[in-house]
Structure 1
């Protein structure tokens, strides 16, 4: 599935509409990824709009999304950023949730508010690294993601589908925090970094400010492979194409084909319907402000509200979407 073709565009801010105030007496807990991540940008934008309805969400940033979703499912926090594929892992008590007692039951408590196209996996290597195509990864050191997250497994699966290379055998896979991964590439301690980021990311762009770098594109002949199509078809994944010129100093010419990823903003079933309704309403009725916040958020529209969402909507969100005349997929109504 092709998400979108993205190029540079100007974004113009406009005044927000006033939203009725509710829930001002309580401060809600929220968790998201680190500063500079598109997930963080979207979540903070959501909380900023919610504040216009006097719904105060205290944001704890720099968190691992696998853990945040579990805390949300347990009701320990109220709002969180998460990855659609993690829902199935929790429901099936697999991988990072294998030893979590009651994980399948916790998963049933998760509710969604809205989904969005977050960006693409960027396989980034600096000029002079000796890497100009995927086959050049043989014997190299590659940062694939944090130890406890799902991104590292996805990055390693992408490399294996394209090259047949196995992490730990054909190349050295390094798992660090996101910030450490950026620093390791900049310092020449690793040869490539695979980083999920929004298109036009300032964190990726910075490698072109003092030199040149390359974002590897998925080879055209691999796009149709059954394994690649299966990877594109996983919850929260898809194929995305963007113009390589969006980044200064980027060496891959023409369009770059990448593994796209989506996220959703979640909550849990016990959060008040009025609170979720007010936050959802404030977000969508201040959409101009949302679009003005970041380049990639211009693609957030009512038509994309349920992108890759694979858990029921919170009843408060359902209430807003119904009032706004936004069609809700039947499978997302079961939680209301």
Structure 2
């Protein structure tokens, strides 16, 4: 943690601009992330630090990152204005938009706006080779009655698995013997022969997948998605886009893997002033090297793919920046 804090301060020093007159009326915002041990928190700290350094003195815009229980709680924090910004899993953005899944009782979240994708949660469907026939997602049906890890119960990974399984016509509760293990225990259980499949989706590379293929790469495969399978898994939502896991990303996996990914994205409350969101969006995309130096996940951020997988309306402030840069806003993402 000390090293992380030192890195942030060093990055802030590199970004520091000449002193300017502080805006008379400052705005302080809260950015909700997730637990400190994951990716959301350090990326959120980097985004907040960037905002503070670039915009507090010149524009009066300040931001602080806080830890939280993750996407589900972040939707509530945005709704109750306890946070004005948040990092959300794309699927939870869809739940919030439609008032479905774990937020069904709260109804559609009319206040939820998107700013940009930060990094992708890429599906890594790992299957024991004795069940692999085609090398594609349909091979999951070869392991009826076998043990499959859905990741930790009520985790974003479990929700993602259930989403793509349901869209693909697979009822996991009836098809597999389900177990609920975090990524590390899932890897150990696969290697020990206690389970036969899992989908530890996340940012490339996923440490647990590296562990599996480094220690038992001849026993497992990462399943691919055909174009038709990818379309079914998405369910017509536009949440999932195609993604290639490059050859040799993982030990003993010497070919490209065609799979799908959903975004983790920066969201905000619709009530945040347009100009503030404009300035924050501009600061992000004009200082990507700083973010990249803080956390590798942000290396996926590119202006031309900022809206890939977005399902929530784009905040008008972010839309203004994209329009200036020649990025078209799809009609379905325009705020009413």
1:255 aligned partner: 256
Cα distance in structure 2, aligned partners of 1:169 and 1:321:
45
2:286 aligned partner: 285
Match of 1:96 among 97, 102, 107: 102
Question: Is the 1:79–1:265 Cα contact (8 Å) retained in structure 2?
Answer: yes
CA shift at 1:109, angstroms? 0.9
**What is the 5 A alignment of 1:19-168?**
27-34=28-35, 39-40=40-41, 42-52=43-53, 53-54=55-56, 55-61=62-68, 63-100=69-106, 103-104=107-108, 107-124=109-126, 134-135=139-140, 137-149=143-155, 151-156=157-162, 158=164, 166-168=171-173
Cα distance in structure 1, aligned partners of 2:171 and 2:151:
15
CA shift at 1:39, angstroms? 4.9
Deviations for 1:19-62, whole angstroms, at most 9, x for unmatched residues?
9766996653322244675555644432232232332322215x
Match status 1:238 vs 2:241: yes
CA shift at 1:237, angstroms? 0.5
Q: Please say which of residues 196-205 and 257-266 is displaced more in the overlay.
A: 196-205
Relative to its length, the structure with more strand (as a share) is 1
Secondary structure in 1 aligned to 2:262?
Answer: strand
Distance 1:190 1:86, change over 3 A: same
Cα distance in structure 1, aligned partners of 2:177 and 2:24:
50
Cα distance in structure 2, aligned partners of 1:184 and 1:24:
51
Deviations for 1:232-289, whole angstroms, at most 9, x for unmatched residues?
44332122222241112xx444121212112321010223445433322321221122
Cα distance in structure 2, aligned partners of 1:38 and 1:118:
12
Cα distance in structure 2, aligned partners of 1:253 and 1:330:
37
Secondary structure in 1 aligned to 2:123?
Answer: strand
Aligned residues: 305
* TM-score normalised according to structure 1 size: 0.73
Distance 1:291 1:246, change over 3 A: same
Distance 1:203 1:79, change over 3 A: farther
CA RMSD of aligned residues (A): 3.7
Deviations for 1:104-139, whole angstroms, at most 9, x for unmatched residues?
2xx2111222124514111236x7x96556355333
Q: Please say which of residues 32-41 and 234-243 is displaced more in the overlay.
A: 32-41
Question: Is the 1:200–1:295 Cα contact (8 Å) retained in structure 2?
Answer: no
**What is the 5 A alignment of 1:161-180?**
166-175=171-180, 180=182
Secondary structure in 2 aligned to 1:196?
Answer: coil
Match of 2:185 among 164, 183, 186: 183
Q: Is there any run of 5+ residues in structure 2 with no aligned partner, and where? A: 1-10, 57-61, 134-138
Q: Is there any run of 5+ residues in structure 1 with no aligned partner, and where? A: 1-12
Deviations for 1:197-246, whole angstroms, at most 9, x for unmatched residues?
11223443244555547442226xxx243x64132443321222222411
